[in-house]
Amino acid sequence: MNRETQNLLLLLIGGAVLWTTLDGGYLRYVKPGLFPFLLISGAGFVLLGIIAIVRDIRRARPLDDHRHGTGRAQWLLLAPAAALLLIGPPALGAAAVTTSAPMPVAANQPQQHPFPPLPEDPAPTLTMYDLVERAVLDSSHSLDGREVRISGFVIAPGDSTIELARVLITCCVADARYLYVHLDGIHDRIADNTWLEVRGIVDPGSAGRDPSRIPTLKVTDYHEIPAPAGTYELPH
């Protein structure tokens, strides 16, 4: 690879990282807490590329004076960085269900224990992780008889079955797992990846009766919502 390609590659990689970070697209790949690290690394790549170009200009050396490694094939190395600038892949959704494992909420906490009481709101909003964790592990049964609100995207594996899902990540999409809640009471056909806010009551003991420990939410109300800017949930 000649110096011209090296320098351009540094600028493209740095520019792609900065662009994805500043426009919020990085949330499709990693958790929000990595924002400052991405910003610093992207700026570092751009700075290195600029320094290399300035150094070559000061030395008055043609950028392609390294005869080894020249050719059109080396320019293909720029394609991934250019593609990231031009084409941002969407966040994980229903289409990736078959490639990701469900999240075993109780894998590291097999024993039930009491959870803090829910807020006094008539229908408090919970993350799906919190709802599933309470349904599986809460010995105080804080969900029993309480209406709650959750949001997620629809997965409809069958004509009479609707599930609401969220993607949970610890660091990035490489460790992504899916969280599910069965929805009971929605009879309309809803397309996959439709985002809903759902209000309902968890069927007591439904998670224990399900082989995958997925709770069932008896729906009292629901409506379609836009996909949030950050579609992934984080464990707490």
CATH numbers and ranges of domains, the chain? 3-89 (no CATH), 97-233 (2.40.50.140)
Overall average pLDDT of the 157-181 stretch: 79
Overall average pLDDT of the 188-210 stretch: 91
**Chain mean position to CA 199:** 23
Say what the pLDDT of residue 123 is: 94
3-class secondary-structure state, position 52:
helix
Name the nearest CA neighbour of 198 among 183, 214, 213.
183
| Residue 152 clears pLDDT 80, i.e. is over it | yes
| Residue 107 clears pLDDT 60, i.e. is over it | no
| Residue 63 clears pLDDT 50, i.e. is over it | no
Query: pTM of the predicted model, to two decimals?
Result: 0.69
Which residues neighbour 187 within 8 Å (Cβ) at sequence distance 6 or greater? none
Choose between 67 and 102: higher pLDDT: 102
